[in-house]
A and B are shown apart, each in its own frame.
Chain A
Amino acid sequence: MTILAQRHDGPDATTAPGPRRRLLGLVTALLVLSALLVLSVMIGSTEISPSVVWDALFHPSADIDQFAIRDYRLPRTLVGLAVGVALGLSGALIQAITRNPLADPGVLGVHAGASFAVTVAVGVLGITDIQGYMWFAFAGALVVTLMVLALGSTRQGQSPVVMVLAGVCVGAVLGGAREAIQLTDPEAFDAMRSWNAGSIVGRPLDLLWPILPLLAVALVLALVVSGPLNAMALGDDLATAQGVHPARTRILAVVALTLLAGGATAIAGPVAFVGLMVPHVARWLVGPHQRWIFVYSILLAPSLLLASDIIGRIVMRPGEIPVGIVTAFIGAPVLIVLVRRNKASGL
Chain B
Amino acid sequence: MTARSVLVLRRRRVAVRLEWRSLLVCTVLAIAVMSVAVLALMTGSYQLGPDQVVSALAGGETGLVHTIVVEWRLPRVTAAVVFGAALGVSGAVFQSLLRNPLADPGIIGFSQGSFTGALIVILVVNGTYLQLVGGALVGGMATAVVVYLLAYRRGMQGFRLIVVGIGVSAMLESINTWLILKADLEEAMAAAVWGAGSLNGVSWGQVVVGGACIAVLLLLAASLSRPMRQLELGDAAAASHGVRVSPTRLGLIVVGVALTATVTAASGPIAFISLVAPQIARRLARTAGITLAPAAFVGALLCLTADYLAQHVAPTPLPVGLITVILGGGYLGWLLFGEARRRL
Whether B329 and A332, one on each chain, are in contact in the complex, defined by CB atoms closer than 8 angstroms, is: no
Among listed A45-53, A58-66, A161-169, interface-contacting one: A161-169
Contact flag A169-B336 (CB < 8 Å), given A193-B177, A194-B181: yes
Whether A272 and B192, one on each chain, are in contact in the complex, defined by CB atoms closer than 8 angstroms, is: no
Q: How many residues of A contact B (CB 8 A)?
A: 50
Contact flag A165-B337 (CB < 8 Å), given A3-B102, A189-B192: yes
Q: Which residue of A lies closest to B177 (CB)?
A: A197
**Alpha-carbon distance A67/B328, docked complex (angstroms):** 51
**Alpha-carbon distance A298/B324, docked complex (angstroms):** 39
**Alpha-carbon distance A78/B341, docked complex (angstroms):** 44
Which parts of B51-89 form the interface with A (CB within 8 Å)? none
Q: Which residue of A lies closest to B164 (CB)?
A: A336
Whether A165 and B174, one on each chain, are in contact in the complex, defined by CB atoms closer than 8 angstroms, is: no
Q: Would you call A183 an interface residue if the criterion is a C-beta within 8 Å of the partner chain's C-beta atoms?
A: yes
Q: Would you call B45 an interface residue if the criterion is a C-beta within 8 Å of the partner chain's C-beta atoms?
A: no
Q: Would you call A325 an interface residue if the criterion is a C-beta within 8 Å of the partner chain's C-beta atoms?
A: yes
Contact of B170 among A156, A170, A171, A332 (CB under 8 A): A332
Whether A172 and B325, one on each chain, are in contact in the complex, defined by CB atoms closer than 8 angstroms, is: yes
**Residue of A176, A322, A333 with highest tally of chain B CB at under 10 A:** A176
Q: Which residues of A contact B158 (CB under 8 A)?
A: 2
Q: Which residues of A contact B102 (CB under 8 A)?
A: 1, 3, 168
Q: Would you call A88 an interface residue if the criterion is a C-beta within 8 Å of the partner chain's C-beta atoms?
A: no
A interface SS class:
helix
**A299-311, CB under 8 A of B: which get 1 and which 0?**
0000000000000
**B173-201, CB under 8 A of A: which get 1 and which 0?**
11101101100010011001100100000
Q: Which residues of B contact A332 (CB under 8 A)?
A: 167-168, 170-171
Whether A166 and B337, one on each chain, are in contact in the complex, defined by CB atoms closer than 8 angstroms, is: yes
Chain B's nearest CB lies how many Å from the CB of A9? 17
Could you name 22 residue pairs across A and B whose Cβ atoms are closer than 8 Å?
Answer: A6-B159, A151-B333, A154-B340, A165-B336, A166-B337, A169-B329, A172-B271, A172-B328, A172-B332, A176-B323, A177-B326, A179-B196, A180-B314, A183-B319, A197-B174, A197-B177, A272-B170, A322-B181, A325-B174, A329-B171, A336-B163, A340-B151
Whether A173 and B330, one on each chain, are in contact in the complex, defined by CB atoms closer than 8 angstroms, is: yes
Q: How many residues of B contact A (CB 8 A)?
A: 51
Whether A340 and B344, one on each chain, are in contact in the complex, defined by CB atoms closer than 8 angstroms, is: no
**Alpha-carbon distance A2/B100, docked complex (angstroms):** 7
Whether B173 and A328, one on each chain, are in contact in the complex, defined by CB atoms closer than 8 angstroms, is: yes
Chain A's nearest CB lies how many Å from the CB of B302? 14
Q: Which residues of A contact B159 (CB under 8 A)?
A: 2-3, 6, 339
Chain A's nearest CB lies how many Å from the CB of B162? 5
Q: Would you call A132 an interface residue if the criterion is a C-beta within 8 Å of the partner chain's C-beta atoms?
A: no
**Alpha-carbon distance A340/B160, docked complex (angstroms):** 7
Q: Would you call B13 an interface residue if the criterion is a C-beta within 8 Å of the partner chain's C-beta atoms?
A: no
Chain A's nearest CB lies how many Å from the CB of B317? 9
Whether A325 and B341, one on each chain, are in contact in the complex, defined by CB atoms closer than 8 angstroms, is: no
Contact flag A3-B100 (CB < 8 Å), given A179-B322, A196-B177: yes
Whether A273 and B170, one on each chain, are in contact in the complex, defined by CB atoms closer than 8 angstroms, is: yes
Which parts of B297-319 form the interface with A (CB within 8 Å)? 314, 316, 318-319
Q: Which 5 residue pairs are nearest across A and B when measured between Cβ atoms?
A: A169-B333, A176-B325, A172-B329, A328-B174, A332-B167
Chain B's nearest CB lies how many Å from the CB of A147? 11
Contact flag A3-B162 (CB < 8 Å), given A159-B340, A161-B340, A197-B177: yes
Q: Which residues of B contact A176 (CB under 8 A)?
A: 271, 322-326, 329
Q: Which residues of B contact A196 (CB under 8 A)?
A: 177
Q: Would you call B101 an interface residue if the criterion is a C-beta within 8 Å of the partner chain's C-beta atoms?
A: yes
Q: Which residue of A lies closest to B169 (CB)?
A: A332
**Alpha-carbon distance A335/B90, docked complex (angstroms):** 27
Q: Which residues of B contact A347 (CB under 8 A)?
A: 163
Whether A184 and B318, one on each chain, are in contact in the complex, defined by CB atoms closer than 8 angstroms, is: yes
Q: Which residues of B contact A329 (CB under 8 A)?
A: 171, 174
Which parts of B117-159 form the interface with A (CB within 8 Å)? 150-151, 153, 158-159
Whether B181 and A197, one on each chain, are in contact in the complex, defined by CB atoms closer than 8 angstroms, is: yes
Contact flag A325-B177 (CB < 8 Å), given A165-B333, A332-B168: yes
**Alpha-carbon distance A336/B101, docked complex (angstroms):** 22
**Alpha-carbon distance A102/B328, docked complex (angstroms):** 23
Q: Which residues of A contact B325 (CB under 8 A)?
A: 172-173, 175-176, 179
**Residue of B180, B336, B340 with highest tally of chain A CB at under 10 A:** B340
Q: Which residue of B lies closest to A5 (CB)?
A: B159
**Alpha-carbon distance A102/B318, docked complex (angstroms):** 33
**Alpha-carbon distance A34/B159, docked complex (angstroms):** 38
Q: Which residues of A contact B173 (CB under 8 A)?
A: 328
